[in-house]
Amino acid sequence: MWKRLLRFGFRLLYNELAWTYDLVAWSVSLGKWKAWGRTSIRRLRGRRVLELAHGPGHLLIALKQAGYQPIGVDLSPTMSRQASRRLRRAGLDVPLVRCRAQALPFRSGCFDAAVAAFPTEYIVDPPALQEAARVTDRDGRLVIVAAANLGGRGPLPRLIERLHKVTGQGEPMPHGNESAFGKSGWSVKTEYEPVGNSSVLLAIGEKSTAMTSPHPLIIDGSSLTLEDVIDVARAMRSVALGDHARSRVAGSRAWVDHVVEHEAPTVYGINTGFGVFANRHIARQDAEQLSRNLILSHAVGVGDPLPEDAVRAAMLIRANTLAIGHSGVRPDIIDTLIAMLNRRVTPIVPEKGSLGASGDLALLSHLALVFTTDATGRDEDSGEAIFEGRRMSGQEAMRRAGIPRVVLGAKEGLALNNGATFSAAIGALAVHDAEVLLDNAIVAAAMSFEALRGVSHAFDERLHSVRKQVGQVEIAARMRALIEGSTLIDSTDRVQDAYTLRAIPQVLGPIQETIAFVRGIVERELNAATDNPLIFLDLPSDDKALSGANFHGEPIALAMDFLKIAVSEIAGLSERRLFRLTDEKLNDGLPAMLVEDGGLHSGFMMAQYTAAALVSDNKTLAHPDSVDSIPTSANQEDFNPMAMNAARHCAEIIDNAQHVVALEMLAAAQALDLRLRSQAGARLGRGTQAARDRIRREVSFLDKDRLLAPDVKKAVEMVRSGEVVRAVRI
């Protein structure tokens, strides 16, 4: 008997020590505890984290101390009591889902029970990499699969090493869990934190909301789509240059080399200066220095760095533009841009400094600094880039990524920084985000319409068919589908509603058509030759170059200004419905500010304040940037479109509108719940019920005042990712 007790005690002590060393490492040199994985998973701070807990609660405590909101699922009957005691001593009130099965094949039931019991955003599963293939396919959630290793024992390091080789680029490796990661559109990255003579290993599997193909995108200068841009910019799809495009590029480059060698004919940017110096001749031996000087002198952007997706989108668009074959660059230039995309070297590019003509000169020059060089190879002239999550000099980032930097030849500097490429990149992202936003706005409008017990005659098909506006007809049809089956609709004696309810199709319909119109302009720009001069080998004369102004960003500037106005209208309409929901004089019997016991509780009062502030901000940002112009370069460039300003302001308006629509969704879900509580037997519409249920998985009913900021953040993430729209499926 005493031997069994001793063995049991030893087992408990071993598990206690093993998990302590696995999850928190003692650093003798620093003389303090170092929390496991703190820097690696900082993105989870403040989020709900579900741990498939197999030990005595150390990871839960570490997560809580790091600022997370852990939820435990204890799969070990032996450890559950011990974990509960330890968590109570640590002052951590964490709900534990009890599971009796310890063997891996039976754990899926525990996982499913936990997800059903708790609204979960992220999953942390320390020892169970075997579960990765099944866990990864859950509503596009980010899944963390983590493990700690001491001394390199066991098969786990080898499995993580194999996972580390999967980057989401090309075909996945043909074995095990990493194959499941790759095929489902996940990218896997492993980070190491030294712990004495061992390491803590963290394998992160991340899936974009936009599914991407495991096959590389082939760019050819003519077929790039907006969806391709999203795949590469946000879902990290790999890229390759098409063979026919490579041949075209090499042909135009051969002509440039001929011009440089013979110093004739005189061609702008090849053997002349730039801008106001267009009439200054440049000698053959100075051609490389001319290109390098152009990049160095024009990299004068200021402001905060552009987001990674915007920079990646610009790199892709620029590579595709050069692949058309009219720019006179070597294929090496395009190959280098593609290698940076595939190995995720992202230049730091400041957001301000472009007039949109001659293209986004300053911004593109900052991009080019990272992958171009000269004979001196000065690190301080290489700009900055992000690689493997760290900010460093461009030269260091390229060295670590194993990508050689290139010395520019004649014409190549001009080909790289001429063109409204960043304007087009931000424009492409904006169009995609506006489309997703509109879908969310329609769902939010239907929820508010139902909560306010609207009159459905406003959506009658006959009414809209006689207007003959395509967008209006389509929005009305979607509204009918969303509220179908509701007992709240038409349950009052009102004849008609206010404009914000009655005119939803008449407002959102034209906005839908506006977004479609802007999409067409942007997609044409994705496949446009936009630098200057351009080379046409079929010209009959010896001079194959044509100088013009394809770099001028007027198409993007006007399109972004139009989109700014349209998205501002989405937010304005949404805020007015939010106001109506919270005003007891307008909300058809709902409590003031959508909270019971108002006065003691403020409910959604400040949610409407915030929405009003954002809508007001949009009114200023929606002022058209394209109507402004300031001459530059000694009046050689005397009419500039301000395309980049328009694109930046458009992105900011979309961000504001995403928050406004998210706030309306939260308020509408609250109002629907209040209706259901007060009206026994009431039934929601087919689509609105699905939307309300999806929101409630993340945000609970507001029965009394609480901090709303985390709820708003979750709602905004659902709007951006389209999770509510996907749940509705209408």
Residues serving a catalytic function are 268
**DSSP assignments along 421-446, one per residue:** HHHHHHHHHHHHHHHHHHHHHHHHHH
Give 34's strand partners. 25
Strand partners, 350: 305
Gyration radius from the chain CA atoms: 29
Rounded to whole angstroms, the Cα distance separating 106 from 299 reads: 58
Give the residue among 535, 539, 545, 533 at the shortest CA–CA distance from 250.
535
- DSSP code per residue over 48-90: EEEEEE-SSSHHHHHHHHTT-EEEEEE--HHHHHHHHHHHHHT
**CA dihedral (164, 168, 172, 178) positive or negative:** positive
Q: Which residue has the tokens 């005659």?
A: 457
- The secondary structure of the chain in percent helix, strand, coil, rounded to multiples of 5, reads 55, 15, 35
DSSP character string of 572-601: HHHHHHHHHHH-TTTTTTPPGGG-SSBTTB
* Beta strands 239-241 and 217-219, pairing class: parallel
By C-alpha distance, which of 531, 521, 228, 525 is closest to 360? 531
Contact 403, 339 (CB under 8 A): yes
Q: Which two tokens stand for residue 452?
A: 């306010």
* H or E element that contains 305: strand 302-305
Closest C-alpha to 431, from 502, 507, 525, 506: 525
**How many C-beta atoms lie closer than 10 Å to residue 487's C-beta?**
15
Take residue 528 and report the two structure tokens written for it: 């446009």
Q: Could you tell me which residues are beta bridge partners of residue 98? A: 74
Neighbouring residues of 6: CB distance < 8 A, sequence distance ≥ 6:
none
List the structure tokens of 659: 């928050």
Cα–Cα nearest to 261, from 239, 283, 276: 283
CA distances from 179 to 158, 208, 209, 266 (A): 15, 17, 19, 55
